[in-house]
Amino acid sequence: MASNREDPKLTDQPAVDEEEDVSGIAPRPIKPWDPKQIRITTKNYTLREVFSQLEEGELDLAPDFQRSFVWHAKQQIRLIESILLGIPLPAFYFNLDSSGGMQVVDGVQRLTTVKRFMSDELRLSEDDLEYLHDFAGDTFSNLDSATRRRFQSTQIVAHVIEPQTPDEVKYDIFNRVNTGGSPLKAQEIRHCMSKSRSRDFLRELVEGHNFNEATQYAFWNKTKTERRNHRMSDRELALRFCAFRTVSIDEYSEATSLDSFLLEFTRRIDSPASDINLRRLATLFDRSMINCEKILGDAAFRRWLPGPERRRGPINRAVFESQALALSRYPLERLLPFKKEILESFRELFNDPIYDSAVRSATGDPKRVQLRLEIPRDLLRKVVT
């Protein structure tokens, strides 16, 4: 199984299928926003103030975003050059929570770049500068004192979303304002809006050995020395497992969308889910990952595509839910005697147009969610009993 991890056919493709069609929940009337509940104030900050707030933890880039940083060197250096040239930056959006802390909603990449530069982690390269070639090779500390002061005194405009704004409205605002070159993915937005409890919980699930084995180290580089940047798609997998393992299909049907459902469940993890219930979920998740790796091997979580070599695609979120939830219901020793039969049966499901459609299109539709969860569960029950 280990040899597959170094196969370019497997490692050069995206870890998770980004083309998932999550449509399907029937549109229902949306209650208009109440302007009295929505409050956004506009404030001015200097980069010196922003850097201090970032260092003190008063302004949160959202833990793990720096590790998931998606801007390349040229983008970063052109931003710093623009500031040095005195070009005003586009407005930022911050979210103010009830405890007084702020999270960056729009501008994560820009502020991460500024923080890196002011921390001497970013050096201006000749190749990436367009005008200020005299600064080539400089870090922030290498700049002359007048230039440093001018940089630190640069003013930015931030629109601050106040705490009384409802979460579902905040989520919509986040989607609307993230229109830059590297807009946030849905899970990154949920991460911005969440608290440390859910962030830490999901991170622990996906950074564990069992998840990495089950996913064939798809979220790591080829040498398995560091995690690749997949925009938190791994955490979305863990969140979807926990949500559908906990919530009934009837309750899911009441959601306005899959995104709103996952946002609501993230809030449950933050509060009021008990530590005991979260530990139970973590135990089930780990058991499922062990079972998927031992029973399905490199077939886990992928659609098996037609063709002479029975090619497999990247990890499919809906298939992940389907297989992981079904296999979470049994201890490994109950499944091992039927390993070959389970593997072949799960592969053959992709020849069933009903099942294949349920993991391929309109995956947010409650009926399709129910189908892809029930079909492998019922199949597994017949095999092991």
pLDDT value of position 69? 60
pLDDT value of position 1? 40
Contact indicator for 303, 356 with CB cutoff of 8 Å: yes
Contact indicator for 138, 151 with CB cutoff of 8 Å: no
pLDDT value of position 128? 95
Q: What confidence tens digit (pLDDT) does each residue in 173-216 have? A: 887 776 555 667 889 888 888 888 999 999 999 999 999 999 99
Distance of alpha carbon 212 from the chain centroid? 16
In one-letter notation, the amino acid at residue 40 is I
* 63-70: long-range pairs with CB below 8 Å, 24+: 63/196, 63/199, 64/191, 64/199, 64/203, 64/232, 65/108, 65/112, 65/188, 65/191, 66/112, 67/227, 67/229, 68/188, 68/229, 68/231, 68/232, 69/109, 69/112, 69/229, 70/109, 70/182, 70/229, 70/231
Q: Look at residues 256, 356, 375 and name the one whose alpha carbon lies nearest to residue 306.
A: 356
pLDDT value of position 4? 38
Distance of alpha carbon 171 from the chain centroid? 14
- Give the integer Cα–Cα distance in Å for 26 and 133: 56
User: E strands, the chain, where?
Assistant: 40-46, 59-60, 92-96, 102-106, 155-161, 302-304, 312-315
Q: Take residue 324 and report the two structure tokens written for it.
A: 């992981």
pLDDT value of position 189? 85
- In terms of Cβ atoms closer than 10 Å to its own Cβ (0-12, 13-18, 19+), residue 44 is exposed
Distance of alpha carbon 308 from the chain centroid? 34
pLDDT value of position 180? 58
pLDDT value of position 35? 72
Q: What confidence tens digit (pLDDT) does each residue in 253-291 have? A: 999 889 989 999 999 999 889 999 999 999 999 999 999
pLDDT along the chain (385 residues), means of 10: 39 62 56 72 98 94 60 94 97 87 86 96 95 96 97 97 85 74 78 87 96 94 77 94 97 92 94 94 98 97 74 87 98 98 96 95 95 98 94
Q: Find all residues with CB under 8 Å of 345, minimum gap 6, and list them.
A: 379, 383
- Give the integer Cα–Cα distance in Å for 215 and 217: 5
- Give the integer Cα–Cα distance in Å for 108 and 112: 6
pLDDT value of position 164? 85
Helices (H) and strands (E) in the chain, counts: 18, 7
DSSP 8-state class, residue 161: E
pLDDT value of position 336? 98
In one-letter notation, the amino acid at residue 306 is P
